[in-house]
Amino acid sequence: MLVIGGGPAGLTAAMELAERGFAVTVVEARALEGKARSIPVLGTGQDGRSDLPGEHGFRFFPGFYRNVTETMARIPAPARGACRTGSVADRLVATTEVLFARDQGRDGVVVDIAGGPAHRDPEAALRAVGGLLARTPGLSAAESVYFAGRLLVFATSGRARHDGEWENTSWWDFTAGAGASEEYRRMCVIGPTRTLVAAKAERAGVPSIGRTQVEFWSGLLGASGYAEADRVLDAPTTEAWIGPWASHLVRLGVRFLIGHLVIRLRTAGGRVRAAVRLPSGAVHEIESDWFVCAVPAEAAVRTLGPEVCDLDESLTDIDRLETDWMTGIQFFLREPTPLAHGHVVHVDSPWALTSIAQAQFWSRTDLPRRYGDGTVRDCLSVDVSAWDVPGPLTGRPARACTRAEFIEEVWHQLDSSLRRGGHRLLSRDLVHSCYTDPAIRWPTEPGGLAHNREPLLISTPGSRQWRPRPAGQVPNLFQAGDHVDVDLNLATMEAADQSAKAAVNALLEATGSRAGRCLVRGWAPASELDRLRVLDDELYAAGLPNVFDRPAPWISGPAR
């Protein structure tokens, strides 16, 4: 059994197969867990300490992530001292706040998201949201009500409307971004797309953004079946999750080939026979009876190769899927700087920044004792989503900046929004060092553009037709990854995990295995709205809008 790709999808597939008695080899070109891993900042560890933990971007696990957390619950976490944590899932800790930071001298607004749904008071949650809206004077009551109505339209739409209308509609059009106020666009239209995934509102499709919004608000308002609204790991990602996972897979008998790039698959008789790989520049083949391709969308067609695509023409459309940039920078600080007990959304930042002070959650990691030179006490991790918008300091988009200019611009935008009572919450004197994602290749000359080796998939209108299914027309080849057509079509660890389990189930069917099938948790819309969704199917068949669909107050005619 050969699994190509060692990211979340590949490791999930390897674990599910190994637990069912298959001999599994994982081939990975770079490093296990791909964009989800911690990345050591080489040369920073001193006196026996580990190198500082860099990353592609901070990890977070919303309450509607069910598949990846189910996998984590089956990964043993090693005991440390008197602390005997049972599984990696036990290393998830809940945040309690979201800070909506503003610039132009305005104080940010903190929204309380503490507690799980079983203990959450919906009225209190609504009051917290109302407080945010009340302190956003540029956002009118009519706009707030309209946006809430759009979420209700999405939640009560039937399958026919989802597939026939919303699948081909952008989030921008669905939320009537054109003609609305700047505050509405920032808080309701652009914010949910830029901060959750690297998607432009004009290009992101309704199904992926709409579902994440409805799921988040359902959990926040106390719906059953959800965990805390937002969770993070209690240590750097590799320490808390990836390291224990790799050790568990080795115990299960999984074999790893790291640094081996699969350049194509060789076929014969309508089946895949071998993966052609390049270790250290030499060409070799790995033969197997069964294959799971778990590489990212941007590498899939190249990895599958022309022979496979000739056997399954639907796979050639993968290269029509679009990607965008969402990657990070870490500022390592000399003093703890807990700006909020959770994530910070920098609402007005041109580069769509989100951030989190991580060390406050690393309860099981003594950062200065275990990492770096002993003087780093916090890690402010920042995600940058808008790479093609000019920055106020440099006047250039992030793609056109040198690394030094990029760092200065990000710090400037952070500093502009992190104020309280007119006082700065950050000081440049706190910065020990910073780390940028090594997947970015920065321009070395004026006029050059940066290159990103690891972009993120975005779900554009109509793109579902180009996504591969877990099982296709090649009988011994299966697809996994966040670009695969499963319940959640979004560039997330959750979608990667879900697709891997779906691929394994398809493989088990193909092999005639009697092993138990993987538990795949799909989206279960609120049953209280079932009758409204049935009604909407009837309305859609009659060519009528959803019963709650109303035109935006600032335009004439229906929002669609």
pLDDT in tens, 357-370: 999 999 878 899 99
> How would residue 84 be classed by pLDDT, with cut points 50, 70 and 90?
low
Looking at the structure, tell me whether residues 334 and 426 fall in a common domain. yes
Domain span at residue 280 reads 2-30+259-321+465-511
Decide if pLDDT at 74 tops 80: yes
Looking at the structure, tell me whether residues 351 and 400 fall in a common domain. yes
- 559 inside domain: no
Rg (C-alpha) for the chain, rounded Å, is 24
Q: How big is the CA angle at 527 (ends 526 and 532), to the nearest 5 degrees?
A: 95
Looking at the structure, tell me whether residues 172 and 217 fall in a common domain. yes
- 555 inside domain: no
> How would residue 354 be classed by pLDDT, with cut points 50, 70 and 90?
very high
- CA–CA gap between residue 491 and residue 7 (Å, rounded): 13
Amino acid 558: pLDDT: 47
Amino acid 112: pLDDT: 85
CA separation, residue 492 to residues 50, 208, 496 (Å):
28, 11, 6
Mean pLDDT value across residues 474-481: 98
Looking at the structure, tell me whether residues 439 and 331 fall in a common domain. yes
Decide if pLDDT at 223 tops 80: no
Looking at the structure, tell me whether residues 69 and 85 fall in a common domain. yes
Decide if pLDDT at 91 tops 60: yes
Amino acid 197: pLDDT: 63
- How many separate helices (H) and strands (E) can be counted in the chain? 16, 26
Q: Which of these three, 179, 205, 226, is where a domain ends?
A: 226
Looking at the structure, tell me whether residues 156 and 214 fall in a common domain. yes
- CA–CA gap between residue 333 and residue 330 (Å, rounded): 9
Q: Which residue has the higher pLDDT, 56 or 510?
A: 510
Decide if pLDDT at 559 tops 70: no
Decide if pLDDT at 256 tops 80: yes
- 528 inside domain: no
Amino acid 120: pLDDT: 66
Decide if pLDDT at 464 tops 50: yes
- CA–CA gap between residue 311 and residue 347 (Å, rounded): 47
Amino acid 201: pLDDT: 82
Mean pLDDT value across residues 97-116: 85
Please state, for a pLDDT cut of 90, what percent of the chain lies above it: 69
- 330 inside domain: yes
Give the containing element (helix H, strand E) for 434: strand 431-436
3-state secondary structure string, 175-205? CCCCCCCHHHHHHHHHHHHHHHCCCCCCCCE
Decide if pLDDT at 408 tops 90: yes
510: left (phi over 0), alpha (psi -120 to 50) or beta: alpha
Q: DSSP letter string over 330-395?
A: EEEESS---SSSEEEEETT-TT-EEEEE-GGG-TT--HHHHBTTS---EEEEEEE---SS--TTTS
Lowest-pLDDT range of 132-136, 206-210, 268-272: 132-136
Decide if pLDDT at 125 tops 70: no
Mean pLDDT value across residues 92-119: 85
What is the three-class DSSP state of 126?
helix
- CA–CA gap between residue 10 and residue 479 (Å, rounded): 10
Q: Which residue has the higher pLDDT, 198 or 552?
A: 552
Please state, for a pLDDT cut of 70, what percent of the chain lies above it: 94
The overall average pLDDT reported for the chain is: 90
Lowest-pLDDT range of 240-249, 481-490, 536-545: 481-490
Of 385, 397, 354, nearest in space to 198 by CA: 385
Looking at the structure, tell me whether residues 345 and 303 fall in a common domain. no
Decide if pLDDT at 18 tops 60: yes
Contacts of 304 (CB under 8 A, 6+ apart): 264, 265, 293, 315, 318
Q: Which residue has the higher pLDDT, 454 or 106?
A: 454
Mean pLDDT value across residues 543-558: 86
- CA–CA gap between residue 534 and residue 244 (Å, rounded): 45
Under DSSP, the state recorded for 471 is B
Q: How big is the CA angle at 352 (ends 216 and 180), to the nearest 5 degrees?
A: 75
Side-chain half-sphere of 221: how many Cα atoms within 13 Å? 11
Looking at the structure, tell me whether residues 159 and 269 fall in a common domain. no
Decide if pLDDT at 475 tops 50: yes
> How would residue 560 be classed by pLDDT, with cut points 50, 70 and 90?
very low
Give the containing element (helix H, strand E) for 53: strand 52-55
Looking at the structure, tell me whether residues 265 and 355 fall in a common domain. no
Amino acid 329: pLDDT: 95
Of 468, 376, 393, nearest in space to 431 by CA: 376
Distance, C-alpha 164 to centroid of its chain: 26
Alpha helices, DSSP H only, in 231-319? Answer: 237, 243-251, 297-311
Contacts of 163 (CB under 8 A, 6+ apart): none
- 22 inside domain: yes
Using the Cα atoms of residue 179, residue 183, residue 186 and residue 189 in order, give the sign of their dihedral.
negative
Of 103, 111, 150, nearest in space to 134 by CA: 111
- CA–CA gap between residue 37 and residue 6 (Å, rounded): 11
Amino acid 280: pLDDT: 64
- 375 inside domain: yes
CATH code of residue 475:
3.50.50.60
- CA–CA gap between residue 361 and residue 234 (Å, rounded): 5
What is the three-class DSSP state of 97?
strand
User: Other CB atoms closer than 10 Å to residue 479's CB: what's the count?
Assistant: 30
Question: Token digits for 45?
Answer: 């560890």
Mean pLDDT value across residues 506-515: 97
Looking at the structure, tell me whether residues 137 and 63 fall in a common domain. no
- 542 inside domain: no
Count structural domains, the chain: 3
Contacts of 550 (CB under 8 A, 6+ apart): 146, 149, 558, 559
- 251 inside domain: no
Looking at the structure, tell me whether residues 23 and 58 fall in a common domain. no
Looking at the structure, tell me whether residues 316 and 341 fall in a common domain. no
Q: Which residue has the higher pLDDT, 34 or 497?
A: 497
